[in-house]
């Protein structure tokens, strides 16, 4: 594989280069982790895309995009390169475990793609809730990272579903006891309330909740965000 890499990089525009790049794609699509052979194949692919301006065919592009979630760290440059072609199902898997050891190693990439990704219509709130659900677990710093990430991008993914964002955030607040995390969530909720321009509607929801003894603690928690 190393010899193929050297051959390709020496003469990337020969007819044989197509076969070499396709071989690299074929090796990558069967791997869930990048091993030594996969690393060489990835180097060939990166050289093809970023230096030789090689254009993958549709099937090869799909194969590579579907492999990204298995090893985001090694694929991070390719993820950003192909971001506009990543379907929502793949994107949700990619951002679905931000606080895992692998996720932590690519936080800057996660932040970049969340700032740039354009979801298919009506899928923005799903991106928001996929991230928000991860606040349920992890250390305080892990949770705060997610919250701050959401504060940066929530407008991008709201798509007018402000009540959904409000309800989902309130649900997380109801079960959070760590004061530092709770304050971060309340600030996120306050941001949502302010940007939504639906403060009256949200206050009305809280008024309904206050009639339920089980929800009175939650109403008290979130009251500051509605002022």
pLDDT tens across 140-184, in order?
999 999 999 999 999 999 999 999 999 999 999 999 999 999 999
pLDDT tens, residue by residue, 36-55: 999 999 999 999 999 999 99
**Residue 3 within a domain:** yes
Do 206 and 134 reside in the same domain of the chain? yes
**Residue 52 within a domain:** yes
Do 138 and 45 reside in the same domain of the chain? no
Using CA atoms, how far apart are residues 147 and 178, in angstroms rounded to an integer?
A: 13
Do 50 and 126 reside in the same domain of the chain? no
**Residue 165 within a domain:** yes
Model confidence at 15, in pLDDT bands (50, 70, 90)? confident
Q: What angle do the packed helices 140-158 and 107-116 form, to 10 degrees?
A: 20
Q: Are 95 and 130 in contact (CB under 8 A)?
A: yes
Average the pLDDT over 176-195 and give the result.
Answer: 97
Please determine, for residue 108, whether its predicted confidence score (pLDDT) is greater than 90. yes
**Residue 78 within a domain:** no
Do 141 and 48 reside in the same domain of the chain? no
Q: Which two tokens stand for residue 23?
A: 């071989």
**Residue 39 within a domain:** yes
Using CA atoms, how far apart are residues 138 and 149, in angstroms rounded to an integer?
A: 15
Please determine, for residue 1, whether its predicted confidence score (pLDDT) is greater than 90. no
Model confidence at 118, in pLDDT bands (50, 70, 90)? very high
Closest CA to 99 of 141, 156, 128, 160: 141
Please determine, for residue 117, whether its predicted confidence score (pLDDT) is greater than 90. yes
Do 155 and 224 reside in the same domain of the chain? yes
Average the pLDDT over 199-214 and give the result.
Answer: 96
Per-residue pLDDT at 169: 98
Length in residues, the chain? 227
**Residue 128 within a domain:** yes
Out of 67, 87, 106, pick the residue that ends a domain.
67
Structural domain containing residue 26: 1-67
Per-residue pLDDT at 227: 86
Do 137 and 224 reside in the same domain of the chain? yes
Please determine, for residue 14, whether its predicted confidence score (pLDDT) is greater than 90. no
Do 139 and 227 reside in the same domain of the chain? yes
Map the chain to HEC letters: CHHHHHHHHHCCCCCHHHHHHHHHHHHHHCCCCCCHHHHHHHHHHHHHHHCCCCCCCHHHHHHHHHHHHHCHHHHHHHHHHCHHHCCHHHHHHHCCCCCCHHHHHCHHHHHHHHHHCCCCCCCHHHHHHHHHHHHHCCCHHHHHHHHHHHHHHHHHHHCCCHHHHHHHHHHHHHCCCCHHHHHHHHHHHHHHHHHHCCHHHHHHHHHHHHCCHHHHHHHHHHHHHHC
The pTM of the full predicted model, rounded to 2 decimals, is 0.91
Average pLDDT, the chain: 95
**Residue 86 within a domain:** no
Task: Please count the other Cβ atoms lying within 10 Å of the Cβ belonging to residue 108.
Answer: 8
Q: Are 105 and 73 in contact (CB under 8 A)?
A: yes
Q: How many domains does the structure of the chain reveal?
A: 2
Using CA atoms, how far apart are residues 193 and 225, in angstroms rounded to an integer?
A: 7
**Residue 218 within a domain:** yes
Average the pLDDT over 101-106 and give the result.
Answer: 92
Q: Are 163 and 125 in contact (CB under 8 A)?
A: no
Out of 25, 45, 67, pick the residue that ends a domain.
67
Out of 67, 84, 109, pick the residue that ends a domain.
67
Please determine, for residue 123, whether its predicted confidence score (pLDDT) is greater than 90. yes
Q: Which two tokens stand for residue 76?
A: 């991070």
């Amino acid at each position: 594989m190393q010899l193929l890499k050297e051959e390709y990089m020496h003469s990337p525009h020969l007819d044989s280069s197509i076969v070499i790049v396709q071989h690299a794609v074929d090796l990558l699509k069967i791997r869930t982790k990048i091993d030594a052979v996969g690393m060489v194949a990835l180097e060939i692919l990166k050289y093809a895309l970023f230096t030789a301006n090689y254009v993958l065919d549709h099937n090869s592009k799909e194969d590579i995009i579907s492999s990204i979630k298995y090893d985001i760290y090694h694929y991070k440059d390719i993820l950003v390169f192909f971001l506009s072609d990543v379907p929502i199902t793949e994107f949700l898997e990619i951002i679905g475990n931000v606080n895992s050891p692998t996720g932590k190693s690519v936080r800057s990439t996660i932040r970049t793609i969340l700032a740039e990704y354009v979801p298919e219509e009506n899928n923005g709130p799903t991106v928001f809730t996929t991230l928000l659900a991860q606040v349920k677990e992890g250390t305080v710093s892990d949770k705060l990272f997610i919250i701050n990430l959401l504060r940066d991008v929530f407008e991008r993914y709201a798509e007018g579903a402000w009540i959904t964002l409000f309800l989902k955030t309130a649900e997380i607040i109801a079960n959070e006891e760590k004061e530092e995390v709770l304050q971060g969530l309340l600030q996120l909720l306050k941001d949502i309330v302010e940007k939504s321009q639906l403060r009256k509607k949200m206050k009305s929801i809280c008024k309904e909740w206050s009639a339920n003894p089980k929800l009175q603690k939650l109403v008290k928690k979130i009251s500051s965000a509605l002022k």
